[in-house]
Chain A
Amino acid sequence: MNTVLSRANSLFAFSLSVMAALTFGCFITTAFKDRVVPVNIHVSRVTLENVEDFTGPREKSDLGFLIFDINADLQPIFDWNVKQLFIYLSAEYSTKSNALNQVVLWDKIILRGDNPKLSLKEMKSKYFFFDDGNGLKGNRNITLTLSWNVVPNAGILPLVTGSGHISIPFPETYKTPMSY
């Protein structure tokens, strides 16, 4: 504390310690928050095709096309410890070969300050909905859920699944659009 440099050193160290404590406080004020919000998913049309999957088994596999609407108000999730949300729509279903299949169909990053009210109409999926066989044809129960990763300033990275999912049956035949 006798010279300028030693004073600057202790001042800087003390400031950093205080900043670390504040960051921990920011984490602890939001750590136990419930970040589930209701989500409304609606599927308007499903088409099923049987095409060769060049990335996978090189056999003809089922490829589904979905047209969907999503309505959700994500505003309650945002607080001072949220930088952005990574939201994604995933399909879950079971086939003979796998008890659980999960396919991400669509995703979006919502930054802080973006419009947190999702109101999407007639959306096409962003990624191919390929099964690794013929498990989509005539599948009675394909469940669509919207989940999100909460990217924080400090602390854990929670993975939350929105409440409200939809289960749809897939068509029994290929290339015949099915409307709901």
Chain B
Amino acid sequence: MLDIFASIPTQMDYKGQKLAEQIFQGIILFSAVIGFTYGYVIEQFGWTVYIVIAGFAVSCLLTLPPWPMYRRNPLKWLPAQDSAVEEKKQQEKKSKKHK
């Protein structure tokens, strides 16, 4: 059961993580400013809280799932190498040094 969840890819690449952080900070700060002004004008602090919670929900939706826009810059790994060949090469290097 848990393996199913673990097999879902949720990673973002480094640029995607930075973008996600900027997006949620922007949304929450924006909703905070709007909520504070609105609550101050209508004299209901409860509405300030509701608007910030709404901003929280929107930013959850936008940044929690690994949307494709956060996965555009995947890390470039070195190509996989045959381990047997690698070992042989190392052994050769060592033997040369000993001589």
Is this pair of chains taken from one and the same complex?
A: yes
Q: How far is the CB of B34 from chain A (nearest CB, A)?
A: 11
Contact assessment for A4 and B64 in the assembled complex, using a CB-CB cutoff below 8 Å: yes
| A: contact size bracket | 20 to 34
Contact assessment for B11 and A153 in the assembled complex, using a CB-CB cutoff below 8 Å: no
Contact assessment for B11 and A26 in the assembled complex, using a CB-CB cutoff below 8 Å: no
| Residues of A7-62 contacting chain B, CB below 8 A | 7-8, 10-12, 14-15, 18-19, 21-23, 25-26, 29
* Interface assignment of A2: CB less than 8 Å from any CB of chain B: yes
Contact assessment for A22 and B64 in the assembled complex, using a CB-CB cutoff below 8 Å: no
Q: How far is the CB of B52 from chain A (nearest CB, A)?
A: 6
Q: How far is the CB of A115 from chain B (nearest CB, A)?
A: 17
Contact for B48 among A7, A8, A10, A22, CB less than 8 A: A22
Give the residue name and chain of the B residue nearest to A21 (CB): B32
Q: How far is the CB of A133 from chain B (nearest CB, A)?
A: 48
For A19, the chain B residues whose CB sits under 8 A away are 32, 49, 52
Give the residue name and chain of the B residue nearest to A3 (CB): B10
* Interface assignment of B69: CB less than 8 Å from any CB of chain A: no
For A8, the chain B residues whose CB sits under 8 A away are 60, 64
Contact assessment for A25 and B43 in the assembled complex, using a CB-CB cutoff below 8 Å: no
Give the residue name and chain of the A residue nearest to B66 (CB): A4
Contact assessment for B10 and A22 in the assembled complex, using a CB-CB cutoff below 8 Å: no
**Known contacts A1-B12, A19-B52, A80-B40; is-contact A7 B45 (Cβ 8 Å):** no
**Known contacts A7-B64, A80-B43; is-contact A14 B10 (Cβ 8 Å):** no
Contact assessment for B39 and A14 in the assembled complex, using a CB-CB cutoff below 8 Å: no
Bound Cα distance from A8 to B49, whole angstroms = 19
Ranked nearest first, the 7 interchain pairs of A and B with the lowest CB-CB distance are A1-B17, A80-B43, A15-B56, A4-B10, A80-B45, A18-B32, A153-B45
